[in-house]
Homo-oligomer: A and B are copies of this chain.
Amino acid sequence: MAELLKGAAVVAALNEKMIADITELKAKGVNPTLAILRVGERPDDISYEKGATKRAETVGVDVKNVLLPNDVTQEELIKNVEALNNDASVHGVLIFRPLPKHLDEEAVRQTLSPVKDIDGITDGSLAGVFTGNNNGYPPCTAQACMEILDYYGVDCKGKRAVVVGRSLVVGKPAAMMLTAKHATVTICHTRTVDMPSVVKQAEIVVVAAGKMRAITKDYFSDGQVVVDVGINWDDAANKLAGDVDFDAAEPIVGAITPVPGGVGTVTTSVLISHVVAAAKRAQ
C-alpha cells in the first residue's frame, strides 16, 4: 500500500501561512488582490476562475474580475493589461490562455508587469525559475509538485528524479526546481527511447505526460514517490483520472498523489500564495 500524498493537507498548511501574512498586510491597510482577466466564456476558464475565487475568499484575498468579449481587439486587451499594471490596488494578474486566435499572446505576455506575474508567464518569471534567483513567480503547477514533496518530507538531495513531459508550465520548471533541490534530474518526453526503463530508475517521478493513464505498471519500481500532474476526464468510468495508471502503480510505489485531490488542488493555493507574496513584495 503506497502512502497517499493528498493535496488537502498541503493546502491547509499553505493557507495557514498565508492567513498569517494576510493578517499582517491588512493591519497595514493592504488588501491583497488578485485580478483575473478572462477573454470570452471558455468553460475551463470559468471553472478555474470559480475555484480560484473561492480559494481566495477563504483566506481573505480579494478578487477583481476583468471580463472582455471574445472579439475584443488587441488594442483594447493591451489597454486593460496596462491598466492592471498601473492599478496599485492589484497585486497579481492571472490572464487565461490560450487567448482567441486573433489576439497576439506574445505581446500580452510582454506587456504584463513582471512584478504582478503571479502565474509565471513573463520572461522575468521564466528566467527566475531557470536561474533559481527567485525573481518573479514559478508556474503554479510546477511549484505545486514541489510543495507536495516538501510537505510530505521528501528530501530531494542526491535523489534520482524523472520528469515526464517538457512543457513550460510543468516539465521544464519542475526539472529546474528539482535540480535546485539537488536532485539528479532526467527530462523524458515523447521522443524518449525506452521510457519505462528510464522512469524505473528514478526515486522521484513527476508525471505531466498529457495523456490519461499513459504511465503504466512497467514504469514503476519499489518505493518510488510519484507526483501525478495529469487531470483527464474518463468518459467510460465517468470520473477524473491522472496521467498515471493509479491502480497499476499504487501496489508498487512507495507514495503517490491521487487524482483528483492531489496536485490540482494545491495549484490553486500556490496561485493565491503568489498574490500574497506579491502584496508583501510591493510594500
Interface residues of A (CB under 8 A from B): 122-124, 126-131, 135, 157-160, 166, 168, 172, 175-176, 179, 182, 184-189, 191-193, 198
Contact = CB atoms under 8 A, between A and B. Distances in A.
Contact of A168 (B123, B126, B131, B159): B131
Contacts of A131: 126, 168, 172
Nearest to A158: B193
Interface of A is mostly: mixed
> How many copies are assembled?
2
State the 3 A-B residue pairs at the shortest beta-carbon distance, nearest first: A123-B127, A126-B127, A182-B191
Contact of A189 (B129, B184, B192, B193): B184
Contacts of A127: 122-124, 126-127, 130
Contacts of A175: 187
Nearest to A168: B131
Contacts of A189: 179, 182, 184
Contact of A123 (B124, B184, B186): B124
A191 B157 contact: yes
Contacts of A193: 158-160, 184
Nearest to A156: B191
Contact of A184 (B157, B160, B176, B186): B186
Contact of A185 (B128, B157, B176, B187): B187
Given A124-B127, A186-B187, 6 more contacts: A157-B191, A160-B193, A175-B187, A184-B189, A184-B193, A185-B187
A186 to B, nearest CB: 4
A47 to B, nearest CB: 27
Which of A122, A127, A158 has the most B CB atoms < 10 Å from its CB? A127
A191 B181 CA distance: 10
A179 B187 contact: yes
A233 B233 CA distance: 59
Which of A135, A172, A176, A191 has the most B CB atoms < 10 Å from its CB? A191
A115 B268 CA distance: 35
A116 to B, nearest CB: 15
Nearest to A128: B123
Contacts of A191: 157-158, 182, 184
B192 A184 contact: yes
29 contacts: A123-B123, A123-B126, A123-B127, A123-B128, A123-B135, A124-B127, A126-B127, A126-B131, A130-B168, A130-B172, A131-B168, A131-B172, A157-B191, A158-B191, A158-B193, A166-B179, A172-B176, A172-B179, A175-B187, A179-B187, A182-B191, A184-B186, A184-B187, A184-B188, A184-B189, A184-B191, A184-B192, A184-B198, A185-B187
